[in-house]
């Protein structure tokens, strides 16, 4: 079973502001290109910068959340965190334990800082330093998650359809405490 975080969770006002800014730059460049033939070189540079900026914004706010996710099947947990540069598969043997947590009420699991990844509102994906001093691979939308101890880096997993995810994890990987 595949688990993701809804693309709407990653949209925030910053996305809209940056995207409108890029569209204004491109629109101004097109107007300049059509209206002022002597400024066409400048207009082309503005179109290239605006296009690059638009692609970058769409990549960070749309593509990264779409390709991030968790797959659970046949005693395997696959984790895809592109901004955290993590594409790993864990088996039931490499997962030591799993505990249900709430990062708001259990401060030792709260996110202290980002090492590498994406963080927008409740959406967190990548590698983060926790209040307890450890680094964890995080794929989270909200505050409820499972803390997974592995033979390597711990995981904090909280995708959409969380109750279904818990059931699938318990049945295929390890029972949750």
Q: Check whether residue 79 and residue 121 sit in a common domain.
A: yes
Q: What is the dihedral of CA 175, 131, 111, 79, to 10 degrees?
A: -40
Question: Per-residue pLDDT tens for 149-167?
Answer: 999 899 999 998 899 999 9
Residue 177 lies in a domain: no
63 belongs to a structural domain: yes
Q: Is the pLDDT of residue 88 over 80?
A: yes
**What's the pLDDT at 57?**
85
Q: Is residue 98 part of a domain?
A: yes
Domain end call among 12, 44, 67: 67
Beta strands in the chain (DSSP E): 2-3, 69-73, 76-81, 86-91, 95-102, 111-120, 123-130, 135-141, 144-150, 155-158
Q: Is the pLDDT of residue 9 over 70?
A: no
Residues 84, 53, single domain; the answer is: no
51 located within any domain: yes
- Tell whether 117 is covered by a domain: yes
pLDDT score of 11 more than 70: no
The pair of structure tokens assigned to 35 is 């209206």
For residues 115 and 55, membership in a common domain is answered with no
Q: What is the rounded CA–CA span in Å between residue 134 and residue 109?
A: 9
Q: What is the mean pLDDT of residues 101-123?
A: 88
Q: Average pLDDT of 26-49? A: 94
Domain of 114, in residue numbers: 75-172
Residue 99 lies in a domain: yes
Q: Are residues 106 and 88 in the same domain?
A: yes
Q: Are residues 87 and 50 in the same domain?
A: no
C-alpha to C-alpha distance for 36 and 51, rounded to whole angstroms: 20
Least confident of 34-38, 135-139, 173-177: 173-177
Q: How many structural domains does the chain have? A: 2
Is 13 a domain residue? yes
Q: What is the pLDDT of residues 115-136, one digit of tens each?
A: 988 887 778 888 999 999 999 9
């Amino acid at each position: 079973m595949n688990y993701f975080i809804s693309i709407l969770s990653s949209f925030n006002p910053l996305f809209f502001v940056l995207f409108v800014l890029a569209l204004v730059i491109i629109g101004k460049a097109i107007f300049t290109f059509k209206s002022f033939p002597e400024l066409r070189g400048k207009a082309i540079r503005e179109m290239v910068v605006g296009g690059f900026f638009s692609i970058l914004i769409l990549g960070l706010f749309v593509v990264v959340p779409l390709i991030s996710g968790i797959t659970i099947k046949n005693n395997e947990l696959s984790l895809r965190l592109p901004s955290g540069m993590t594409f790993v598969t864990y088996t039931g043997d490499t997962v030591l334990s799993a505990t249900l947590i709430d990062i708001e009420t259990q401060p030792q699991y709260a996110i202290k800082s980002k090492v590498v990844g994406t963080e927008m509102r409740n959406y967190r994906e990548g590698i983060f330093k926790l209040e307890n001093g450890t680094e964890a691979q995080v794929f989270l939308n909200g505050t409820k998650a499972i803390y997974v101890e592995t033979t390597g880096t711990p995981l904090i997993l909280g995708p959409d359809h969380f109750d279904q995810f818990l059931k699938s994890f318990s049945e295929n990987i390890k029972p949750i405490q």
